[in-house]
Structure 1
Amino acid sequence: MNMKSNWLKLNSNSEPKLIFSPSVPRISASTHEALMHAQIFHRSETFHQLIDETSEMLLSILGCGNYTTILAAGSGTLANDIMLANFSVGTRCPLVLVNGEFGQRLLHQCSRYRSDTLVFDAGWGKRFDLVLLETYLKKKHEIDTIFFVAVETSVGMVNPVKKICELARRLGKQVGIDAISALGAVPIDYTSEAISCITGSSGKALLSIPGVLILFIRPKNFNTISGSIPHVLDLRSLLAARKSPGGVRNTLTSVLVYALHNAVADILNEGLSKCYRRGSLLKTHLLEQMKAISINPLANSDCPMVTSFERPNSIEWEKIRDYLKQRNLAVYDNSSYLEKRNIFQVATFGDYSLNEIFYLTNTLKDFLQST
């Protein structure tokens, strides 16, 4: 008996085929093809060229060439750990801006490196009051580094990156940004000289397979730190690997890099502006259809590709989940921070169609009308 084949057949048949989750982007045919590509030796010149070409394309996605791109094996969480370990240690005092789950995670991560980390908490799902933030920064003179997320995925909210960076520049602070859910999803200006580091991941709106962490850094803003930092987090070793074909980026496999390469190439070939317009169009129709069946979005859930909705109060959510699954549908609903706040999310990372949006909303409508 072939246990592997049986397991795949059993489990793939039981899973929904149409998934609206920020953690499961819809990947293209060329990205699928890359996953079948023969591996390239990670110390070879060919691998180094693949890294360089992918890095250059990622700068096009970022919209600003004034950064050094680093790719390594790992998750977006690890990318944030590298940023926080290298750009908080050696500073006077770091500040983390929080208005959702992922800002809170940044705070917890930063506090592991700096127990004196300060927090400016706007409240879950709330906009940052930039007047209050400026007052706070002027009061806390010791703060010299600010970390925050560009898109607070738990809410589906785009934070005012340009305005925060302008405030930081004016007050002489450096900035580190978690852009994991923002890259490829929403146009954001990253040109501010206040920015020292931006993190990303090969999943989400870059439409590849998770497993490649992305760092955009400005080496001139990078402070040399003590040797106490774990080697896997040490930005110096990753910078050295970038300059040498023999350097090891946490033994990053060529298959994942090639998949990311093809995914980003597909986005650029289609055109970023077209991708953004498609996301906005799908969002508009999604909101209209949900409103018609009295399912409301969170007030500040304005990201084109991720929307958080309030769950219908009068109905057991498990019944809706089962009804969707029976019709090959799944939304994102089972993270603890979503369950705690009685919300669910619809994400369209990838080439989704209006017909698929209508199928989701009509299925929800059918269920609600039948109860």
Structure 2
Amino acid sequence: MESLHLIYKVASERDEFEQIHKLNYQTFVEEIPQHNRNEQSRLVDRFDHENTYIIAKKQDEVVGMISVRAKRPFSLDEKISNLDEFLPDGAVPCEVRLLSVKKEFRKSYVFYKLVELLVSYCLEQKYNMAVISGVDRQIKLYKRIGFQPFGSLIGQGDAKFQPMFLTKEQFENSTKAFRRMMNRKAAVEKQLNFLPGPVPVHEEVEKAFASQPISHRSLVFLEEMKEVQSKLCHYVNANFAQVIVGTGTLANEFIAAQLTRIPGKGLVLSNGEFGNRLINHARRSKLDYHTLEKEWGEPVTVDEIENYLLNHREIKWLWTVQCETSTGYLYDLAGILDICKKYGVELCLDACSSVGVIPVDLKEIYLAATVSGKGLKSYPGLAVVFHRDEITPDESLPRYIDLGLYYVNGSVPYTHSSNLVKALNEALNWHDAIILPASEKIREYFKEQGLNVIGDHTYSPGVVTICLPPDISSREFGDRMKEKNILLSYESDYLLQRNWVQAAFMGVQDMESLPYLAVVIKQEANAIIKEWPAAL
């Protein structure tokens, strides 16, 4: 049973406590006949108001628990009258009880994760010893994590227990052992990829990519290219699509090259890293243009754009990102398109982080760029340029970025990758397989953990940007998450400079992992903060 996406925490919600009582009944009435049955199928522990419960949850379901309590007398005091004689001098003990894991999760490492969090809690509370009544059939398991038996078996029938204890030193050693064990187990678990590229792909896409390469001049390849172009156009309601070996940067170079053919000035919008890159494209291509720039994440409104166009009637084209990947900000595409049509301005888009992530309609967009390795859920390596009109070759342009040459040659004027095209063709069959939750819902998971998240419901559901506090290094944090087999985006210069990390949801991902991801991010951030005093 998969346990990677479980959340481990101290119980705090009413529903969690109610599920604890139900699980308590299932384990210590139905499975281990320690208490009498009742009609409610519910067992409230007699020390419930003094217990701290460590629980494991799959979404809203409690699937495992263990409790700790330090107030004397312990339940073990009632079974062993001279309990203190077995404890060393200076002992500050707690009692660990009520270990229960639902049957379908017992072959996972839920137990070890519960105990890891329990160990951390006990050390924080300055307990230097724990006692437990270990179920006799699990004595071997308890010994493996450091518990030592003392005294004789207690209880009778199917409810026999062995008194055991664990010292502070054994706590600490066992914590290291747990981590080693869980690292070994994690090594064989599927990696959780929350990068904006490369993204996780469907297994059928993997198979397609691994197929035997064929010539880009073969009829089989040319037919597959036509099929890919047709699927792409249908997906975003575009008239034409050219598929090119390259990146999103190259796709935008194609757009810049075409913009040199439009008389008049242009306007480039920017409120983040990728808007700034469009400005850089325009400058390098020696385009004649204005810019409308804002601080990162600050809205660029339709009214502001209209006012700019109204006062600069020489503007004939407008170039913007649709999703500003650096923050997740979404431009109002419909509103901008209406304004462009009103003023006779051609609209061009960098849609690399929006196609395949949110609904996109390119029917009236002059030019738009996207890539295979983000929302289209395939491998990186193919650039896609959508165009509204037929385009003729232009010998004034460099051969490789002459979009007209691609149009008149069926998108294959030069060498192509049959493997990348085949993988993209397969990926386009699965674009409806992953339905993202609303942006507001996705961000709420992270905000519930007290994380500082950029944006609101108007931002893209495909990328969440988290601002870490100054005392946590985003590089160290990202490295540590990577060690846990969780891949976040953090290594780009613009993220490192701002101490940001990002979680992207553009590929074939299990969205049930969202709550788990948010909790792990918070736990790891807390762990780094706690380690600071020891490092000073």
Q: Same fold (TM over 0.5)?
A: yes
Q: How far does residue 223 in structure 1 lie from its aligned partner after superposition? A: 7.5
Q: Is the 8 A contact 2:194 2:489 kept in 1?
A: yes
Q: Alpha-carbon deviation of 1:285? A: 5.0
* Aligned with residue 277 of structure 2, among 71, 87, 105: 105
Q: Which of 429, 433, 437 matches 1:280?
A: 437
Counterpart residue number, 1:251: 415
2:398 equivalent in structure 1: 230
> Who is 1:202 aligned against?
372
Report which stretch shifted further, 325-334 or 351-360: 351-360
The sequence identity of aligned pairs, in percent, is: 28
Distance 1:88 1:164 in 2: 22
Residue 421 of structure 2 aligns to a residue whose secondary structure is helix
Q: Relative to 1, partners in 2 of residues 1:280 and 1:116: Cα closer, same or farther, differing over 3 Å?
A: same
1:334-349 alignment to 2 at 5 Å?
A: 334-349=491-506
Alpha-carbon displacement from aligned partner over 1:11-30 (angstroms, at most 9, x marks no partner): xx799922211022110011
- Residue in structure 2 matching 1:44, options 193, 218, 237: 218
Say which SS state the counterpart of residue 379 (structure 2) adopts: coil
Instruction: Write 1 or 2 for the structure with the bigger share of strand.
Output: 2
Q: Within 5 Å, give how 1:272-351 maps onto structure 2.
A: 275=434, 278-280=435-437, 283-299=439-455, 302-351=459-508
Say which SS state the counterpart of residue 119 (structure 1) adopts.
strand
1:72 match: 244
State the Cα distance separating 1:240 from its structure 2 match.
1.7
Alignment partner of 1:261 is 2:425 = yes
Instruction: Report the AA paired with residue 292 of structure 2.
Output: F
Contact 2:327/2:454 (CA < 8 Å) preserved in 1?
yes
- Identify the residue that residue 212 of structure 1 maps to in structure 2: 382
Cα distance in 2 for partners of 1:316, 1:214 equals 36
* Per-residue deviation, residues 296-345 of structure 1 (Å, max 9, x unmatched): 21135710111111113333334433432332112111111112222211
1:101-121 per-residue CA deviation (whole Å, 9 max, x = no partner) reads: 111111111112224321111
Matches within 5 A, 1:158-177: 158-177=330-349
**What pairs up with 1:76-225 in 2 under 5 angstroms?**
76-192=248-364, 195-220=365-390, 222=391, 225=394
What residue in structure 2 maps to residue 20 of structure 1?
Answer: 194
With normalisation by structure 1, the TM-score equals 0.85
Amino acid at match of 1:75: T
Q: For the structure 1 residues 351 and 189, does the alpha-carbon distance in structure 2 shift closer, same or farther, using more than 3 Å as the test?
A: same
The answer as to whether partners of 1:90 and 1:223 remain within 8 angstroms in 2 is no
Alpha-carbon separation, structure 2, partners of 1:105 and 1:16: 34
CA 1:318–1:42 in structure 2 vs 1: closer, same or farther (change >3 Å)? closer
Deviations 1:191-220 (A, max 9, x none): 33xx21111111101010111111111235
**SS of 2:196's equivalent?**
coil
Please identify, of 183-192 and 249-258, the stretch whose mean Cα deviation from structure 2 is larger: 183-192
- Contact 1:88/1:145, CA 8 A, preserved across alignment: no
SS of structure 2 residue aligned to 1:267 = coil
* Structure 2 residue 536 is matched with structure 1 residue 362: no
Over 3 Å counting, the alpha-carbon distance change for 1:126 and 1:30 in structure 2 is same
Q: Structure 2: where are the runs of 5+ without partners? A: 1-186, 531-536
Instruction: State the secondary structure of the residue aligned to 2:369.
Output: strand
Distance 1:171 1:144 in 2: 8
Aligned residue for 2:229? 55
Q: Is 1:31 the counterpart of 2:31 in the alignment?
A: no
Corresponding residue of 2:96: none
Is 1:26–1:350's contact at 8 Å kept on the other side of the alignment? yes
Bigger RCO of structures 1 and 2 (CA < 8 A, at least 6 apart): 1
Instruction: Give, in whole Å, the separation in 2 of the partners of 1:287 and 1:124.
Output: 18
Instruction: Indicate the structure with greater helix content.
Output: 1
Deviations 1:254-297 (A, max 9, x none): 110000000011115x3xxxx4xx3125x555423322321121
Where do 5+ consecutive residues of structure 1 fail to align?
A: 1-12
One-letter amino acid of the structure 1 residue matched with residue 446 of structure 2: M
Aligned residues: 341
Is 2:247–2:371's contact at 8 Å kept on the other side of the alignment? yes
Q: TM-score with structure 2 length normalisation?
A: 0.60
CA contact (8 A) 2:392 2:405 kept: no
Tell me the distance in 1 between the aligned counterparts of 2:441 and 2:303: 34
Measured in 2, the distance between the counterparts of 1:191 and 1:90 equals 20
> For residues 175 and 286 of structure 1, what CA distance do their matches in structure 2 show?
30
Answer yes or no: is 1:353 the counterpart of 2:506. no
Helix, strand or coil for the counterpart of 1:215? strand
Distance 1:80 1:115, change over 3 A: closer
Give, as a single letter, the amino acid of the residue that structure 1 aligns with 2:496: E
Distance 1:353 1:50 in 2: 29
Counterpart CA distance in 1 for 2:487 and 2:232 is 30
